[in-house]
Structure 1
Amino acid sequence: MNLRDHINGDNRMDYFPFFSMGYLMDWLLLSEQYWLRKYVKLLRKEEYYTIHKLNKQLKYYYQRKKNRLGCKLGFFIGAGNFDVGLKIYHYGSIIVHPKARIGKNCSIHGNCCIGVKSLLADDAPIIGDNVDIGQGAQVLGGITIADGVRIGAGAVVTKSILTPRVTVVGIPARVIL
């Protein structure tokens, strides 16, 4: 796998061809989607040089660029947290614990937290494929979320959701049909 294939695995971020009208307009206007795509590209480059082709200098170079942009956008996402197909809809405070594992085609909105319940705990969530995490949702603790689950806006999930393709809402989160 080369770097281009690794970056192109995130085809859900709607990348425009280089020098196309959409690319040039995004670049000139510096739209929200431009910054989100740039962050995901830097994340994937850091992952590539951390996991697939070990190169410390390039790993730290892209990690620094990603972290600087992440500070501006409000993101803290470590390399290797998300599988391919990550879609970020909005910027603003997306925090993901370094040990959390999220499957393919995850959609995440702004102001989300995927982490542990306390400072003493070190058990991070494991989230399946095709999960949609709504605005302001929190997934906390060493829990498992099944494939295809939709987590509603503002939900606080502290218990495992093992039933696939359900919707979870509320504080504390509960399954609705």
Structure 2
Amino acid sequence: MKLKEYIAADRMDHYPVISKGYLMDWLLKTEQYWLRKFIKALRCEEYYEFHHPNKFLNYFYKRKKNIIGRKLGFFIPAGCFDTGLKIYHYGSIIINPKARIGQDCTIHGNCCIGSKGTFPDDSPIIGNGVDIGQGAQILGGITIADGVKIGAGSIVTKSITEPHVTVVGIPARIVSKS
């Protein structure tokens, strides 16, 4: 897979380089501009670490990702998300390096996906097509099934094994099935 194809696999909206939208986005430095730059740096880091190893380019893009991530409030290590990632808002997105998130995941701001701090490290495994709402937390060595929608402000501490359901609350519980 080529780098351009790897970056294009994410669901972030990209303007053609010679377009009014690209120019306005670049001049105004909008929220989506910085989100796209972060995702591109993350994917370039992953590409040069896992698919086409190159220590210099890997270091360059890791550094670039961390600088942009510091502005946005993100800590997202390479290799956690599969393709199709969509981030809607910036602000405190913390992902445990051992967490694994499937394809076409949507994540909103102020989210935490991590361990409970127990030994051995217990990090979540999240399926494909999961939508994680604003301020949601997914903690511990749990599994989230495909197509689950996690409501804003929810704290998920137990596995959700039923696919295509909506969970909300503290602790999160199933409220509807699609």
1:25-174 maps to which residues of 2 (within 5 A)?
25-118=24-117, 120-174=119-173
Displacement of 1:120 in angstroms is 3.6
1:58 partner amino acid: L
Instruction: Name the CA distance, whole Å, in 1 between partners of 2:79 and 2:51.
Output: 11
2:19 partner amino acid: S
Paired-residue identity, %: 69
2:7 is matched with 7
1:156 partner amino acid: I
Instruction: Name the CA distance, whole Å, in 1 between partners of 2:18 and 2:39.
Output: 19
With over 3 angstroms needed to count, the CA separation of the structure-2 counterparts of 1:126 and 1:170, relative to structure 1, is: same
1:73 partner amino acid: L
CA displacement, residues 73-110 of structure 1 (integer Å, 9 cap, x when unaligned): 00000111101110000000000000100001100000
Instruction: Name the CA distance, whole Å, in 1 between partners of 2:20 and 2:120.
Output: 49
Name the TM-score, length of structure 1 as normaliser.
0.98
With over 3 angstroms needed to count, the CA separation of the structure-2 counterparts of 1:64 and 1:119, relative to structure 1, is: farther
Instruction: Name the CA distance, whole Å, in 2 between partners of 1:63 and 1:127.
Output: 24
1:36 partner amino acid: L
Instruction: Name the CA distance, whole Å, in 1 between partners of 2:37 and 2:106.
Output: 17
Aligned length: 176
1:144 partner amino acid: T
CA RMSD of aligned residues (A): 0.8
Q: Secondary structure at the match of 2:103?
A: coil
1:131 partner amino acid: V
Instruction: Name the CA distance, whole Å, in 1 between partners of 2:74 and 2:138.
Output: 16
CA displacement, residues 84-142 of structure 1 (integer Å, 9 cap, x when unaligned): 11000000000000010000110000000000011544111000000000000000000
Q: Which runs of 4+ in 1 moved over 6 A?
A: none
